[in-house]
Amino acid sequence: MDSDKNAVRPRQLLSVTDGVFLTVGMILGALIFKAPATVAGATSGVGEFLLAWLLGGAVSLCGALVYAELAARHPDTGGEYAFLTRGWGRGVGFVFAWSRMTVIQTGAIAAVAFVFGDYASEILRFERQSPAIWAALSVIALTLLNLAGTLQSKTLQKVMELMLICGLILFSIAAIWIGSRIGGAPKAPAAAGGGAFGFAMIFVLLAYGGWNEAAYLAGEVQDARRNMTRILVGGVIAVTALYLLVNIGYLAVLGHAGVKDSKAVAADVMRLIVGERGAVLIALLVCVSVLTTINAAIFTGARTSYALGRDFDSFRALGRWRDSGSTPANAIVLQGAITLLLVGVGSTTPDGFAAMVAYTSPVFWTFFLLTGLAIFRFRFLDKSKTDGFRTPLYPVVPAAFCLSCVYMLYSSISYVRNPDYGPKFGIAVAAGLILMAAGIPLYFLQRKKPPRLP
């Protein structure tokens, strides 16, 4: 049709180097400053600890290759919402959007906000509930920023990413060098609670989160069929190497047990290397990094809620776009309110960050599994499709990713069996699953209208 020929389409302007840099920036986030402590507590020693981070890179690579094919098949806006709706039907798409609004995205924002709270408290500590207060303040401030319609500066974002990468490399090299000069990390007994490898992987793969966004570059990459594999492999390998380097730096100074016992591991390492001023400096760097992560999550999360309101009458208030500031104002406000509620609930637990991970993980991995399985459905229904990016080593790579999702879903539900965290956060695990399940009757109760796929 002529309309299709004249339609504006994405231009293939991204080189392999551009794609790798963007992929690293999308994956690299705040959780490398928080997750290692929990991972150390759930592993039995240095070897298992580093193996978890290496395996996390391998699983992420398989997932990214699967998502790259899904994005090439359906390169329109919407991500998992579009994949799940097209692959499994409107009902699954609805439950995903509902779960993302009430559990996945809001819980992730709250979890990262608690990371900000831990490091902001290294700079200025309130007398009581300091991490929770800082977490709430960050959510309020950035929700208002997005509500006003303030756009992120892409140039500033890239500069900050480059500063973060260079800072992490210098920090890690300094930590390894200092650790070797002082004769290695202090000898300490093995961390209690080790050996729960599946539990450790929950936090490792959370730190690798972002590769699913990187897969959406397929529509703008030069010679995508050949170069997307190079970009995804190069980007994930680069992040894996960086994460290993950073964690070796942590271990060199604090040791396995010291990492496990730390609330702000990067700040504790800097404190031992250069003193209190260095701890404040690294805490400030982490805070800036975390704020950009929260801001991006608020921005993208509200767009999914907007799509829910656009496609379903019962949530139509969320589907209103405010011209002033060009922003989905109602979706942003509701998302901020739910996130603040979760921060408040998390503040009543021994570790707000871990509580939010318990709350989101089973739901997160359920939909990751369904998205991974969608590639088999698309291939079965459209065996003749040959254009666009194709996942290499099919069906081995998609099967490996889906099996990893099954294992992580099991691990996230059996979170309650972890001796250190499970008994305290069993309610959080159940709450996330119950809210996800509530989306099923809601779908059948809401007033239907013809769907408008992204």
Q: What is the pLDDT of residue 153?
A: 44
What does the pLDDT look like over 380-409, one tens digit per residue?
887 655 567 789 899 999 999 999 999 999
Q: Which CATH superfamily is domain 11-445 in?
A: Amino acid/polyamine transporter I (1.20.1740.10)
Q: Which residue has the higher pLDDT, 146 or 358?
A: 358
Q: Which residue has the higher pLDDT, 28 or 3?
A: 28
Closest CA to 437 of 98, 108, 105: 98
Q: What is the pLDDT of residue 1?
A: 45
Q: What is the pLDDT of residue 448?
A: 53
How would residue 11 be classed by pLDDT, with cut points 50, 70 and 90? low
Place of tokens 């069906």: 395
Where b means 16+ CB within 10 Å and e means fewer, 45-56 reads ebebbbebbebb
Phi/psi zone of residue 221: left (φ > 0), alpha (ψ -120 to 50 degrees), beta? beta
pLDDT above 70 covers what percent of the chain? 84
DSSP assignment letter at 216: G
What does the pLDDT look like over 105-148, one tens digit per residue?
999 999 999 999 999 998 999 988 899 999 999 999 999 988 88
pTM: 0.84
Let me know: does 20 contact 235? Beta carbons within 8 Å. yes
What does the pLDDT look like over 181-239, one tens digit per residue?
765 555 444 444 455 888 899 999 999 988 877 766 666 677 766 787 888 888 899 99
Let me know: does 205 contact 59? Beta carbons within 8 Å. yes
Q: How much is the average pLDDT of 41-57?
A: 94
Beta bridge partners of 327: 322
pLDDT above 90 covers what percent of the chain? 42
Rounded to whole angstroms, the Cα distance separating 35 from 29 reads 11
Average pLDDT in the chain: 83
Place of tokens 């809620």: 305
How would residue 76 be classed by pLDDT, with cut points 50, 70 and 90? low
pLDDT at position 333 over 70: yes
Q: How much is the average pLDDT of 319-335?
A: 81
Rounded to whole angstroms, the Cα distance separating 454 from 151 reads 22
Closest CA to 392 of 406, 375, 369: 375
Let me know: does 53 contact 204? Beta carbons within 8 Å. yes
Give the chain's end-to-end CA distance (angstroms, integer).
Answer: 20
